[in-house]
Copies of this chain bind each other. A is one copy, B any other.
Amino acid sequence: MRGTLIVLSGPSGVGKSTVVKGVMARCPNLQFSVSATTRPMRPGEVDGKNYYFVSREQFRAMIQEEKLLEYAEYVGNYYGTPEAPLDAALEAGQDVLLDIEVQGALRVKARRSDAVLIFMLAPSFGDIERRLQGRGDTAPELIRERLLRAQWEYTQAHQYDYLVINDNVDKAVDEIAAILKAEKCRTAQRLSYLKEDF
């Protein structure tokens, strides 16, 4: 059976990475989609594992050759999702988690009917504010920018299939795992079982 494509978004400060770690541990058939980027490799990063590290020229060629499912420019660097490895994984029955921001996610939704979109929320918007401020290493201006960004993202969340509230990491992990399991039970995914030869 073909794998399931989960697209997860959530504003900065929502605690997404902890939940993602939990989901990956819980769902052994789920793999993380590797993005392509033009930003320089950091110490400890591995090409093809953390990112596909490419030059700006290579990235532009990927755009022109329509090899990217979605891409965005962020702080002067490009980030994008190569579609061929994604399809190869799904075809092989692997479930794939795409952790991308809202604009990219909505582009994926428009292009692929097989994508299941999950938006992660904080219990309240005040939590996001507190978490961003609590990090202590972020300039006030950047915090403000991220908050405005998060506010805009909230206005787009109604376009997602599911909303998961991160009021408790285990509960959020549980809900995403349930969504993945339930999506595999959708009638459209299992029509072959109805082709009985009576």
Contacts and interface: CB of A to CB of B under 8 A. Distances in A.
Interface in A31-75: none
Contacts of A179: 178, 181-182, 185
A119 B186 CA distance: 10
Contacts of A157: 187, 194
Interface stretch (A89-97, A99-107, A131-139, A159-167): A159-167
Given A158-B194, A196-B154, A175 B185 contact: yes
Nearest to A182: B182
B182 A151 contact: no
Task: Count copies of this chain in the complex.
Answer: 2
Contacts of A121: 193-194
Interface residues of A, number: 34
A187 B175 contact: no
> Which residue, of A157, A161, A182, has the highest number of chain B Cβ atoms within 10 A?
A182
B181 A164 contact: no
Nearest to A185: B162
A57 B35 CA distance: 67
Interface of A: 118-119, 121, 124-125, 151, 154-155, 157-158, 160-165, 174-175, 177-179, 181-183, 185-187, 190-191, 193-194, 196-198
